[in-house]
Amino acid sequence: MRRPAILLTLTVVLAGGVAPLARQDDRARALDEQIGRIFDANEYAVPRFGPARWRPDGTSYTTVEPAASPEGASDIVRYDAATGAREVLVAGARLVPAGQAAALAIDDYAWSSDGRRLLIFTNTRKVWRDNTRGDYWVLGLEDGTLVKLGGRAPGSSLMFAKFSPDGTRVAYVRQHDIYVERLADARIRRLTTDGSATRINGTSDWVYEEELGVRDGFRWSPDGRSIAYWQFDTTGVGLFTLVNSTESLYPALMVIPYPKAGTANAAVRIGVVSADGGKTKWMRTPGDPRQTYLARMDWIDERTLAIQQLNRLQNRNDFLLADARSGEGRRVFRDESKTWVDVVDHVEWIDAGAAFLWLSERDGWRHLYRVPREGGVALLITRFDADVIDLAGLDEPGGWVYFTASPGDATGQYLYRARLDGAGAPERVTPRDQPGTHGYVPAPGGRLAFHTWSRFDTPPATDVVDLAAHASLRALTDIEPLRAKVAPLVQPGVEFFAVDIGEGVALDGWMLKPSHFDPGRRYPVIVFVYGEPASQTVVDRWGAGRTLFHRALAEAGYVIVSVDNRGTPAPRGARWRKAEYGAVGDLASKDQAAAIRALIARHAFLDRERVGIWGWSGGGSNTLQALFRFPDVFHVGVSVAPVPDKALYDTIYQERYMGLPEDNVEGYRVASPINHAEGLKGHLLLVHGSGDDNVHYQGTERLINRLIELRKSFDVMVYPNRTHAIAEGPGTTAHVYRRIARHFLTSLPAGGR
């Protein structure tokens, strides 16, 4: 019964002037080949620098380079940052354990404070996402000893090893407990003994890791006598079970405590224990430990811990100072908002610990403030109508703090500096003739920095700069061969634009066109969307494989567009960023639809009858919102790893931007695409990994059931046992992008007409 409808569709499309099928086959073949070059052959990989570590002197650094011998080994090399003078500090041959032929592979490394010992992380095994376990070895540079840590611990079972401040001991986590090993005699002291599947010491649970970035869960005190650590009690947290059906005769289960919006969190506390062992002293923080978040913790001196505590709604961040011996704490600063406040990743202490620097949106912009340690008035340092994006360095002797910002242009990122006493307006340091995105890793002392600069059509180059003058001292990567290789692919250049959607609102966007673009023809449009508070898409920086994929789609005969709606984390002020509070996806989909309508009205070459949209994660959710709620605008979509029902996602992310489910029933209903599924009229492809521990496949399954109930036609591509990245296994990434491309080529034929 459906075959005549399909034939009618083909007749209409062909009558509309779309290129013949043979031409479409040519496009598909070329697109398939280019996706292979991008993701399989990795032909456009950016030259790697590092892993690099600044030395304490602030003028030199170390990095890892291939060794001449033995085969496959790596040297650790010291460079003078300004002159490039090179010295091999650790030859690969020194990293061959006794009785073995191969040198240790270096997954990561760290130096002791005196530079006499080197800690090597190797033989790593993924726990989830960026969290890994592995083996740690210590090399003594003076005596050449190479010792594996952990005693009789199983291979690949240690995490987060760190030297003590004096370099004589190493602390690490094993099986949810913290250990300290003395390097002189390999004596191991177990500092915590209650670690279990539900009690986690020295690292974090899933939701703290994912949403607050807490992974490395312990800190040495400055005098090396104590260790402060997080402890998580996940008893009572809902358990989510992932089923792996592909790697054994019978399915294997992975069970993760995962608190969904409105449900119980882990009880979290921070304790201090002697590095020689003994009883833990627990810091007393106000409130129910299941209804607050201890988002950051660090030592500021040998007796005092600084702790950031969020309330459950995350609209208040209290900065607490706790006495490590008594456990008594006091609040020295409070940041609050009617929506949400952000965790401050880097609290810099100045004036010999008498004051600290804090980022806050209290005046409508993300500004830097100077706050007295003993309490008092917060002094505004960054006196301009613009957002501080991030701290980039501190030159306290010179009286400057360096940070990134982009006043008047939400697509870029540039280096600025301001006086620590708040005098005068911030000064731009990045030269005006270097538009794009600039990132900095400052050296100790704040005089030099690793500097990485890219643009949308220009791959990133890394060099060493003198921060104050922004003078390039030395190139660290040779980017010219890659730039020459991608030059033919990025023509015509990207077009950044602003589109007025009414009521005084202008949205930033970018547009890609095919090299054979003919303004007299009408082209199908593909919109790339994210649209949630966690990320921007409209930025003037190199986007690697995904950007090249969009370029390949454009060359196949599409116009590719992306727009940042209100509610994305653009540096356009707090009002802009908080606009979606309470119904994430609602305003986003309205803004996206309004932007496409306005662009089509502005440009005759955009075909209003052929508009597609796609996105991943939050972008997958907004793809669903667009297709379901605005079927007159969007006709074809690919939704990758979406959250169809906001009640299924985790507490910290969802409640931060939506409030508690019981307090915002209507907001959660509107924000959940599954509740608008009856509006689907176009061609939808759902893509998900069945092993996604972040955005569970459960949500997509529920949406599938709802679409079946509504008698809707759609396509589904499930990747067995893949995570949220859908990248595990040979060929997976290229397969995902080929599947996305094929859906558009089939349902939204390419080419002008």
DSSP codes of every residue in 473-528: EEESS--HHHHHHHGGGG-SPPEEEEEE-STT-EEEEEEE--TT--TTS-EEEEEE
What would the mean pLDDT of 60-64 be, rounded to a whole number? 97
The closest of 122, 121, 135, 138 to 182, measured between CA atoms, is: 138
Bridge partners (DSSP) listed for residue 188: 181
**Cα–Cα–Cα angle for 583, 129, 252, nearest 5°?**
100
Q: Is 716 helix (H, G, I), strand (E, B) or coil?
A: strand
Torsion angles phi and psi, residue 100, rounded to 5: -115, 160
Q: Which residues pair with 686 in a beta bridge?
A: 639, 716
Predicted confidence (pLDDT) at residue 300 exceeds the cutoff of 90: yes
| Residue 2 confidence class, pLDDT cut points 50, 70, 90 | very low
pTM given for the model: 0.94
CATH number for 619: 3.40.50.1820
How many Cα neighbours within 13 Å face the side chain of 342? 21
Same domain, 186 and 196: no
Last residue of one domain, picked from the residues 190, 209, 241: 190
560-616 residue pLDDT tens: 999 999 999 999 999 999 999 999 999 999 999 999 999 999 999 999 999 999 999
- Write the pLDDT tens digit of every residue in 485-523: 999 999 999 999 999 999 999 999 999 999 999 999 999
Pairing of strands 606-616, 636-640: parallel
Residues 161, 109 contacting (CB under 8 angstroms): no
Tokens encoding 619: 């972008």
Residue 21 has pLDDT above 70, yes or no: no
- Residue 423 has a pLDDT of 96
pLDDT at 130: 59
CA-to-CA distance for 617 and 703, rounded, in angstroms?
A: 15
Residue 126, pLDDT score: 81
Q: Are residues 200 and 281 in the same domain?
A: yes
Say whether both 283 and 165 belong to one domain. Answer: no
Q: What is the rounded average pLDDT of the residues 282-309?
A: 98
- The residues that bridge with 131 in the sheet, in sequence order, are 128
Residue 61's domain spans which residues?
51-190
pLDDT of residue 27: 87
Q: What is the residue type of 688?
A: H
Total domain count for the chain? 3
Same domain, residue pair 314 and 223 = yes
Mean pLDDT of 627-636: 98
The answer to the question of residue 366 being in a domain is: no
Task: State the chain's mean pLDDT as an integer.
Answer: 95
**Same domain membership, residue 659 and residue 627:** yes
From CA 146, how far away is CA 93, in angstroms rounded?
Answer: 11
**pLDDT-derived band at 132, boundaries 50, 70, 90:** confident
284 in the same domain as 168: no
257 preceded by a cis bond (ω within 30 of 0): no
Query: Which ranges in 267-410 belong to alpha helices (H)?
Result: none
The answer on 630 and 576 residing in a single domain is yes
Residue 129 has pLDDT above 80, yes or no: no
Residue at 431 is within a domain:
no
- For 660-673, what is the mean pLDDT? 98
199 and 174 belong to one structural domain: no
CATH code assigned at 163:
2.130.10.10
Is residue 167 domain-resident? yes
Whether the predicted pLDDT of 201 surpasses 80 = yes
Residue at 364 is within a domain: no
Residue 559 has pLDDT above 60, yes or no: yes
Percent composition of the chain: helix, strand, coil (DSSP 3-state, to 5): 20, 35, 45
Q: What per-residue confidence (pLDDT) applies to 24?
A: 79
Cis peptide before 51 (omega within 30 of 0): yes
Give the count of alpha carbons within 13 A of 261, CB side only: 23
User: Looking at the structure, do residues 185 and 196 belong to the same domain, yes or no?
Assistant: no
The residue among 144, 168, 190 that closes a domain is: 190
Instruction: State whether 519 and 668 are in the same domain.
Output: yes
Interval 305-363: pLDDT, tens: 999 999 999 999 999 999 999 999 999 999 999 999 999 998 999 999 999 999 999 99
Phi, psi of 138 (to 5 degrees): -120, 125
Q: What pLDDT does 128 receive?
A: 66
The pLDDT score that the predictor gives to residue 23 is 78
Are residues 119 and 213 both part of a single domain?
A: no
What digits encode the pLDDT tens for the residues 134-190? 999 999 999 999 999 999 999 999 999 999 999 999 999 999 999 999 999 999 999
Distances in Å between the Cα of 251 and the Cα atoms of 133, 242, 243, 258, 727 are: 24, 10, 6, 21, 21
User: Which of 283, 310, 336 is the last residue in one of the domains?
Assistant: 336
The pLDDT tens digits of the residues spanning 29-56 come to 999 999 999 999 999 999 999 899 999 9
Residue 438 lies in a domain: no
Domain co-membership, 136 together with 249: no
CB 226, CB 263: distance < 8 Å: no
Residue 252 is assigned to a structural domain of this protein = yes
- Does pLDDT of 13 surpass 90? no
SS3 (DSSP) at 4: helix
Residue 267, domain member (yes or no):
yes
Average pLDDT of the segment spanning 16-30:
65
Considering the domain boundaries, does residue 464 fall inside one? no
Strand, helix or coil for residue 81: coil
Alpha-carbon gap, residue 265 to 254, rounded angstroms: 19
CA gap 459, 44 in Å, rounded: 9
Dist CA 279 CA 272 (whole Å) = 9
Beta strands in 347-413 (DSSP E): 348-350, 355-360, 367-372, 379-380, 388-395, 400-405
